Copies of this chain bind each other. A is one copy, B any other.
């Protein structure tokens, strides 16, 4: 656990039910935690997970509907009470800052850390976060208001050194980074050792795409092509197609079609309408299009 894990904190849609909370997730990448959406009750949900919520580095908000961001103010406030010092960056539309700032100034006076607002353009597929091991890109979605999904992509890993070969050729330590990067090695005797004899393929870089809320749109397929895990909203079943179109949401069948077209390794569906007591029907419909699918549920986590 902790290499590339997705934790579901909430996977319901706007109307709260006894079964689901509004949207919120945490992606843990090599020990660093990133939050995706933050519906009301997110800070309460943290208490029943194993995630330390002061370890959250950045928060990514897909769009400014209440069920995706009403939990921010409570979470920010509580992080302060728990003594957070590290700055917290919130990536979202530019509108968020003027909406949240007056409440932060009033309710969170003397917050012991800085809240930074980092606006992005949801109409573009761009890099919005980058560190040593991870890049995060926006995915333009099609919703009633501007919305963007997020593609979390590990950076390419280094090749794995074959220790016995390094010893055999008496290769000094300082040469290792160059060899890990894929370069050949020239011995003191002038012999060129091809990299392929010194290393093996790196662990494949992992990737996760979050696509919610969105109507069916094939424009996302090239962006999420081949990801290890796709979370795609599936608010409705086929019977509610009219409603899905009217509200710019997707059906489970459509989520399955996107997963198939993008040839992802696994699909998780969520953002379920309050009308479903359980989501067996949604699972069945998605499965008819794409076999490797699971239902999201509060408390679930997926190792990628």
Q: Which 4 A-B pairs have the closest CB atoms?
A: A40-B74, A66-B107, A70-B74, A18-B47
| Docked CA distance A48–B99 (Å) | 31
| Residue A204 at the chain B interface, CB threshold 8 Å | no
Contacts of A106 in B (CB 8 A): 64, 95, 99
Partner of A66, one of B44, B48, B64, B74: B74
Enumerate 11 A-B pairs (CB-CB under 8 Å) in ascending A order: A14-B81, A15-B82, A16-B44, A16-B47, A17-B47, A18-B48, A40-B44, A64-B106, A64-B107, A66-B77, A99-B102
Q: Does A140 contact B (CB under 8 A)?
A: no
Q: Are B15 and A81 in contact (CB under 8 A)?
A: yes
Find out whether the CB atom of B40 lies under 8 angstroms from the CB atom of A16.
no
Residues 64-112 of A contacting B (Cβ, < 8 Å): 64-66, 70-71, 73-74, 77-78, 81-82, 95, 98-99, 102-103, 106-108
Cβ of A118 to closest chain B Cβ, rounded Å? 19
CB interface residues, A 1-60, toward B, < 8 Å: 14-18, 21, 40-41, 43-44, 47-48
A100 and B17 CA atoms in complex are apart in Å by 24
Query: What's the Cα separation between A15 and B71 when bound, in Å?
Result: 14
